[in-house]
Amino acid sequence: MMLRREGFAVNHKRIHRIYRVEGLQLRARRKRGVRYVRGNVVPTVCRPNERWSLDFVHDALSNGRKFRSLTIVDDFTRESIGIEVDFSLTGDRVVRVLSRLAATRSLPPTLKFDNGTEFTSNAMLGWAAQANVELHFIEPGRPMQNGSVESFNGRFRHEPLNEHAFPTIFHARSAIEAWRIDYNELRPHTALDGLTPAEFIEHYRTSSNSRSAAA
């Protein structure tokens, strides 16, 4: 087409032959796809770090300025993987948080969350494809499909958020991180047979090692 626009008489077979001889033909680049699931089929997890659930919780400082908290929970151990606190948490920020976590621990095969724009963003989809992580989106308006993080958020809302009036975002981050550590290491959970998440993880590892040794 470009040759015709320049006034050349074109024989498409000859042009195609020249392209092949000169190696000018380029293969179409295959897009690297992201694996994702939508719907209410949520497989049961049976080991630590098999699936994390993510969600946002909103609150405000004592001066009325609103902030958000990104909560990340291990569905099996109930461990609070992290809580990111800031005034704005975009899809790019969620990717940075997950990348930071990946530098210190293995990422799970699956992440589960609602259909918020932060989780459906191109940044998130591109990162998931590169990290080989499956994204599971729950059905819109069905928060019960994300029960682990919803339960965590209820306690998070009831305790540090409702009990404190944070003067600055820095106070909020400090108090919330102290609460997260207490939640993981000192707080027994009925869903974990009265163990803390840290104790439950250690118990699971010890039991797994014993079964491996016996085998």
Query: Is residue 7 assigned to a domain?
Result: no
What does the pLDDT average to over 159-173?
96
Q: Which two tokens stand for residue 156?
A: 């998070």
Q: What is the pLDDT of residue 17?
A: 64
What does the pLDDT average to over 46-70?
97
Query: Is residue 31 assigned to a domain?
Result: no
Query: Is residue 18 assigned to a domain?
Result: no
CB 114 within 8 A of CB 108: no
The CATH number linked to 105 is: 3.30.420.10
The answer on pLDDT for 76 being more than 50 is yes
Query: Is residue 138 assigned to a domain?
Result: yes
What does the pLDDT average to over 114-123?
94
Query: Is residue 17 assigned to a domain?
Result: no
The answer on pLDDT for 81 being more than 80 is yes
- How many separate domains does the chain show? 1
CB 42 within 8 A of CB 112: yes
Whole-prediction pTM value?
A: 0.80
- How far is residue 215's CA from residue 210's CA, in Å, rounded to a whole number? 9
- How far is residue 186's CA from residue 197's CA, in Å, rounded to a whole number? 9
**Banded model confidence at residue 213, pLDDT cuts 50, 70, 90:** low
Query: Is residue 41 assigned to a domain?
Result: no
Q: What share of residues in the chain are helix, strand, coil (percent, to 5)?
A: 45, 20, 35
State the residue range of the domain holding 138: 49-200
Query: Is residue 14 assigned to a domain?
Result: no
Query: Is residue 110 assigned to a domain?
Result: yes
